[in-house]
Amino acid sequence: MAGLDDDFILVDGVEKVFDVRKKTGFLRRERREVRAVDGISFSVARGEMVGYIGPNGAGKSTTIKMLTGILTPSGGRLRVAGIEPARERTRLARRIGVVFGQRTTLWWDLPLIDSYRLMHRMYRIPDARFRANLDRCVELLDLGGLLDVPVRQLSLGQRMRGDIAAALLHDPEVLYLDEPTIGLDVVSKAKVRGFLRDLNAESGTTVLLTTHDLQDIEQLCRRVMVIDHGRLMYDGALAGLHEVGESERTLVVDLARELPEVSVAGARVVRVEGPRQWLAFPASASAAPLVTELAASYPVVDLSVREPDIEAVIAQMYADRSAALG
């Protein structure tokens, strides 16, 4: 089992094909094959925290559902903590925690504490550990006043924190988070992110999170995977996305007075507004020679470099891919 820690989550050529029936006429239906996940491979080491992003319908949720054992893959090999999810769903369930941002795993009409008591028995958590874990979650996620409130009366942010606590009471080795910050206000988002960061650092829980909010990724994950049309398009460090995306950085130049567009090698002017001009240059290039050249030829008052917007980078990736698919 030497490799288990490195391949704690192992996804090898996994596919998921759906048969979609579309109504085309009064009684006629057309059958169409949709490859929601089209041969994805990756592995996640124990204790890693990985972001999994992609547009709607890219196959993110389908992947998570296969990793939790909800869906059976159509092909490929899948292991989580050495267990085949679809075959041993209930055995795996004791070792993983799942949070669905859009729907709660809590019992809707029961007080929060009742859901936790049910988890306690259902997951057969030893009493002492249950109490310790619950106390910690209540403290860190600020659930003290909410335990006796029925889940349906909780706000979205409160419910999400309640859901995260519920997923952690049995000390799962892997935590899947599907859109954990969707619809939350700024304060709740910050609270949730802080908690997840500490959890990963202290307990060494492996975390895989899908999200639309790139700030989640920027603040939590060193590694990011991008999926589109069921295929993995990028797997690596967050910073590396810039190079892959052929993105550009921006140099903002404040001149002493209004001037025509400046001209320097390796950069082009993208915007002019009074004495201020914006210059775009490749993200991989250094800004130093540009600054030197500018300062030598023009009356420069101030300079600043802006990093590319990661959202724009990813949008660019999707656009390139769509263009390639024609």
Partner 1 sequence: MAAYRLIVGAWVRSTMAYRTSFALTLCANFAVTAFDFVAILLMFSHVDALGGFTLGEIAFLYGTTGTAFGLAELFFGPVQRLGSRVRDGTLDTLLVRPAPVLAQVAADRFALRRLGRITQGLLVLGYGLTVMEVDWDPVKVLLVPMMLLCGAAVFGSILVAGGAFQFFAQDASEVSNSFTYGGNTLLQYPPTVFAKELVRGVTFVLPLAFVNWLPALYVLDRENPIGLPSWLAFLPPFVAAACCALAGLAWRAGLRSYRSTGS
CB of 122 to partner 1, least distance (A): 6
* Residue number, 120 or 223, with CB nearest to partner 1: 120
CB of 118 to partner 1, least distance (A): 6
Applying CB under 8 A, does 123 fall inside the site for partner 1?
A: yes
Applying CB under 8 A, does 93 fall inside the site for partner 1?
A: yes
Applying CB under 8 A, does 96 fall inside the site for partner 1?
A: yes
Quote the CA–CA distance of 271 and 277 in Å, as a whole number: 6
Quote the CA–CA distance of 132 and 243 in Å, as a whole number: 45
Among 102, 202, 273, 326, binds partner 1 (CB under 8 A): 102
What tokens were used for 272?
A: 């002019």
Calculate ∠ Cα 21-22-23, nearest 5°. 125
Among 15, 35, 46, 107, binds partner 1 (CB under 8 A): 107
The residues near 213 (Cβ < 8 Å, ≥ 6 apart) are 181, 182, 189
* Residue number, 70 or 303, with CB nearest to partner 1: 70
* Residue number, 96 or 317, with CB nearest to partner 1: 96
Applying CB under 8 A, does 18 fall inside the site for partner 1?
A: yes
Query: Which one of 38-46, 120-128, 273-281, 289-297 is the stretch in contact with partner 1 (CB under 8 A)?
Result: 120-128
Applying CB under 8 A, does 273 fall inside the site for partner 1?
A: no
Q: Which residues pair with 74 in a beta bridge?
A: none
What tokens were used for 179?
A: 């859109």
Q: Nearest Cα to 154, choosing from 102, 105, 100, 108?
A: 108
The residues near 219 (Cβ < 8 Å, ≥ 6 apart) are 193, 197
Q: Give the rounded distance of the alpha carbon of 121 from its chain centre.
A: 31
Among 23, 56, 90, 288, binds partner 1 (CB under 8 A): 90
What tokens were used for 198?
A: 């500490």
Residue 224 CB neighbour total at 10 angstroms: 22
For partner 1, how many residues bind (rule: CB under 8 A)? Answer: 33
Q: Which helix (H) or strand (E) holds 175?
A: strand 174-178
Among 69, 157, 162, 180, binds partner 1 (CB under 8 A): 69
Show the site string, 47-66: x = touches partner 1 by CB under 8 A, - = not.
---------------x--x-
Among 40, 49, 71, 226, binds partner 1 (CB under 8 A): 71
Torsion sign (Cα): 231, 235, 241, 244: negative
Applying CB under 8 A, does 247 fall inside the site for partner 1?
A: no
* Residue number, 22 or 121, with CB nearest to partner 1: 121
Starting at the edge strand found earlier in the chain, the sheet holding 75-80 runs 29-44, 9-23, 75-80
Applying CB under 8 A, does 117 fall inside the site for partner 1?
A: yes
Interface with partner 1 (CB under 8 A): 18-19, 62, 65, 68-72, 74, 86, 89-91, 93-94, 96, 98, 100, 102-105, 107, 109-111, 114, 117-118, 121-123
